[in-house]
Amino acid sequence: MLTILGGRQRSFCDGVTRRGFLRIGSLGLGAAGMGGFCLADVLRAEANAGHPATNKSVVMIYLPGGPTQHETFDPKPNAPAEIRGSFRPTSTCVPGIQYCETLPKLAQIADKFSVVRTLVGFKNRHESFQCYTGRPGGGGQDNEPAGGWPTLGSVVSRVLGPNAAGEIPYVDAAPKMSYAPYNNRGIHLTGKPSWPGFTGWPHIPFTLEGEVKSDLVLNGIDLYRLGDRKSLLESFSRMQRQVVAGGYDAFQQQAFGMLTQSRLAEAIDLSKEPAKVRQRYGESQSTFPGFGGAPQSPQHLLLTRRLLEAGVRCVTVAFGAWDWHANREGSIEYLSRKYLPLFDHTIATFLQDLDERGMLDDVTVVIWGEFGRTPRINAKGGRDHWPGTQSVLLAGGGVQGGRVVGATDRIGGVPDSRPVHVQEVFSTLYHNLGIDTRNVKIPDLNGRPWFLVDQNRRPIRELL
């Protein structure tokens, strides 16, 4: 996480305040002499990369813990009670397609998105890394390349760079979660972290967490605080000059401008959004702390839309806590009744908002967790981990709405037809962004070039 704060507080010997000191993290902003990268370095790298022009973007809404497919997009009304659960299916606005009755609002706009019911390729691991990279990592058996697999956003940043307005290409808007592997930091259950991946520090996400958000919103700050920011950047510049002589150049000035006057700072100030729009998204609901996941925060999805409008190419965000074994808080029936209505409302509102603003043609949305849940309800009334299949929502950016890809068997446990591999989802996301996965390669830290997806994986043809 990056924190740049002002204020009249006790200083270090170089004049930088204790709170104003930089915490290396999400943006990779540091001193060149300390082995890191500064924001100006990122801007220089992007300017020299020859990125293609595109206005396409992508949103990944991560559901930490692994959501249930039976109580959402793949009900099994004809299965035994211990399989089908407590809820009935409901018809959608698309003839022949049914979801669970827990999702009435999404059912009404089913023509705006499509669902893959037969996703395969994830392992039984509570790690966001699988969703953000499309691959396992951390263990020797995972055969990660030198430097580790990069996330989707890191690849987008590396290949496409910032948009024409020069905004940061990759932002993680997720709330910080207490269970470390849920956070977008390359952390695994076992083994070493895969962070930052072989695209390197310039391409990790700018993370809106903690005090970063409040510090970037500049309404009402006094001149002292603004001056303190400039002093801080000048302090980093002095450290850089220990290695490379020179003062502020155009890229350093641009970096300072991004921290003080950018559209990013405007975007994360939700007070600038009309009250009726904030109210339309709704209020946050906390999730049980023992899950270690995120709150259900509709305002984070509103923030996501604003970041897209500001020109961010890739936004990742986490929503809720879905590890519903029934060993915490209650049965899957109780948890579904408590949490699925707000999920239904928030996702429907977000997709409708994008559509009404004419953004859905250019923004691809993917919503998923790290695996599905068991077909059979356990003795406590919950569902356990199940990597055999899960349901995934895809919308926008060229994805055709109103479709269901694949069918699971009669109990919703494994694909009965058309299994869709996670790498096909990534291939679809890159395709929608205008990235040619058959030709684009990125070298790892040993110089070995890697394709972005396995070469036998193509975009999901049924959706395009």
Q: Report residue 458's pLDDT band, with 50, 70 and 90 as the boundaries.
A: very high
- Comparison of pLDDT for 28 and 298, the residue scoring more: 298
Coil vs helix vs strand at 233: helix
AA letter at 66: G
Share of the chain above pLDDT 70, in %: 77
Share of the chain above pLDDT 90, in %: 71
Cα torsion 402, 310, 198, 3 to 10°: value is -130
Instruction: Give dist(CA 331, CA 324) in Å, integer.
Output: 8
At 244, phi and psi to the nearest 5? -125, 120
Per-residue pLDDT at 224 exceeds 50: no
Give the CA distances from residue 432 to residues 6, 65, 175, 203, 427, in Å, rounded to whole numbers and listed in that order.
Answer: 41, 27, 27, 20, 9
CATH of the domain spanning 55-210+277-463:
3.40.720.10
Under 8 Å CB-to-CB from 192, ≥6 apart: which residues? 138
58, containing H or E segment: strand 57-62
AA letter at 334: Y
Look at 67-71, 170-174, 205-209, 233-237 and tell me which has the smallest mean pLDDT: 233-237
Cis bond upstream, residue 196 (ω within 30):
yes
Instruction: Give dist(CA 361, CA 317) in Å, integer.
Output: 20
Task: Give the model confidence (pLDDT) of 18-48 as tens digits.
Answer: 333 233 333 333 333 333 445 555 555 555 5
What pLDDT shows up at residue 302?
Answer: 97
For the segment 73-89, the average pLDDT, to the nearest whole number, is: 97
What pLDDT shows up at residue 15?
Answer: 38
Under 8 Å CB-to-CB from 224, ≥6 apart: which residues? 6, 8
Give the CA distances from residue 123 to residues 141, 333, 372, in Å, rounded to whole numbers and listed in that order.
Answer: 12, 26, 10
Q: Report residue 248's pLDDT band, with 50, 70 and 90 as the boundaries.
A: very low
What pLDDT shows up at residue 247?
Answer: 46
Give the CA distances from residue 286 to residues 27, 298, 319, 342, in Å, rounded to whole numbers and listed in that order.
Answer: 28, 11, 10, 11
Q: Which residue has the tokens 């499509």?
A: 114
Is the CA virtual torsion 293, 297, 298, 300 positive or negative? negative
Q: Report residue 208's pLDDT band, with 50, 70 and 90 as the boundaries.
A: confident
What pLDDT shows up at residue 213?
Answer: 53
Under 8 Å CB-to-CB from 453, ≥6 apart: which residues? 134, 423, 426, 427, 430, 437
What pLDDT shows up at residue 235?
Answer: 56
Characterise 189 by phi-psi region: left (phi > 0), alpha (psi -120 to 50), beta (else).
Answer: alpha
Instruction: Give dist(CA 370, CA 321) in Å, integer.
Output: 12
Instruction: Give dist(CA 363, CA 432) in Å, integer.
Output: 9
What pLDDT shows up at residue 71?
Answer: 98
Coil vs helix vs strand at 447: coil
Let me know if 412 is exposed, middle or buried by CB neighbors in 10 A (0-12, 13-18, 19+): buried
What pLDDT shows up at residue 258?
Answer: 55
What pLDDT shows up at residue 333?
Answer: 98
At 34, phi and psi to the nearest 5? -105, 10
- Comparison of pLDDT for 27 and 361, the residue scoring more: 361
Q: Report residue 290's pLDDT band, with 50, 70 and 90 as the boundaries.
A: very high
Give the CA distances from residue 201 to residues 134, 150, 289, 413, in Å, rounded to whole numbers and listed in that order.
Answer: 19, 10, 31, 39
What pLDDT shows up at residue 365?
Answer: 98
Q: Which residue has the tokens 């193509």?
A: 458
Instruction: Give dist(CA 109, CA 93) in Å, integer.
Output: 6
Give the CA distances from residue 209 to residues 72, 173, 351, in Å, rounded to whole numbers and listed in that order.
Answer: 29, 7, 24
Cβ neighbour number for residue 29 with a 10 Å cutoff: 24
Per-residue pLDDT at 78 exceeds 70: yes
For the segment 435-459, the average pLDDT, to the nearest whole number, is: 96
Q: Report residue 114's pLDDT band, with 50, 70 and 90 as the boundaries.
A: very high
Cβ neighbour number for residue 446 with a 10 Å cutoff: 9
Average pLDDT, the chain: 84
